[in-house]
Amino acid sequence: MSGFSSEERAAPFTFEYRVFLKNEKGQYISPFHDIPIYADKDVFHMVVEVPRWSNAKMEIATKDPLNPIKQDVKKGKLRYVANLFPYKGYIWNYGAIPQTWEDPGHNDQHTGCCGDNDPIDVCEIGSKVCARGEIIAVKVLGILAMIDEGETDWKVIAINVDDPDAANYNDINDVKRLKPGYLEATVDWFRRYKVPDGKPENQFAFNAEFKDKDFAIDIIKSTHDYWRALVTKKIDGKGISCINTTVSESPFKCDPDAAKAIVDA
């Protein structure tokens, strides 16, 4: 898709494991900063972090140079999500929209909580199980306002534009109609997925109701504005690595040779 490719370093499910992203020239890039937010008009790029049905909590490493995908670590252990009956692992392809950022210094008017310091999350509901590090183009259908340990953590619902049924999905009501129970399962999953780790259930704004496509796109655009302020140093990222190879107005921009040196190091 779009000429992007990925390169794995070290064995999966180890502390050293990394997935680096490359552009069409085979040069290393940041999946956080260098992949454009838009794939086409009203179509967004998505970085797949976790393939559907898998359990390892992989994520864009926001504080590492060039932001490779790696497995999250909590209390010195590699992190996995439990199988929540009746589900197996993640119940969608899970990932993030590049060039977005939920600002921890911004109190969200809808949730009353500040952002979670990550790119905005996406649940892709198509039929294909995607690969870790794959870049796909998605149609946004709606959004869920989750509050995770006091932080705003939006969950975008989207579908791969290459899905055979993509033409039938244009808003959140299409998901309710064509995949009955899927949105309810999504809320149930997000509510309970940390409970096996001894954490409380997650909460939601809007009484856990999904907002529509237009609302979702407005939220995504606002997180894109916060990302731009971050990468142009108008906001202190407090440890986030903003090294990139494409954002011309960014003081963190580097050339491809410097990016390769980072990966090789």
Q: What percent of the chain has pLDDT over 90?
A: 98
Question: Rounded mean pLDDT of 134-158?
Answer: 97
Average model confidence (pLDDT) across the chain: 97
C-alpha span between 252 and 227 (Å, rounded): 13
What integer pLDDT is reported at residue 2 of this predicted model? Answer: 67
CATH architecture classification, 5-264: Alpha-Beta Complex (3.90)
Question: Which tokens belong to 44?
Answer: 């967004």
- Supply the pTM of this predicted model: 0.97
Q: How far is CA 150 from the centre of its chain?
A: 19
Place of tokens 């905005």: 120
Residues 12-59: tens digit of each pLDDT: 999 999 999 999 999 999 999 999 999 999 999 999 999 999 999 999
Decide if 216 contacts 159 (C-beta within 8 A). no
> Is residue 112 predicted with pLDDT exceeding 60?
yes
Closest CA to 89 of 123, 113, 47, 119: 123
> Is residue 1 predicted with pLDDT exceeding 70?
no
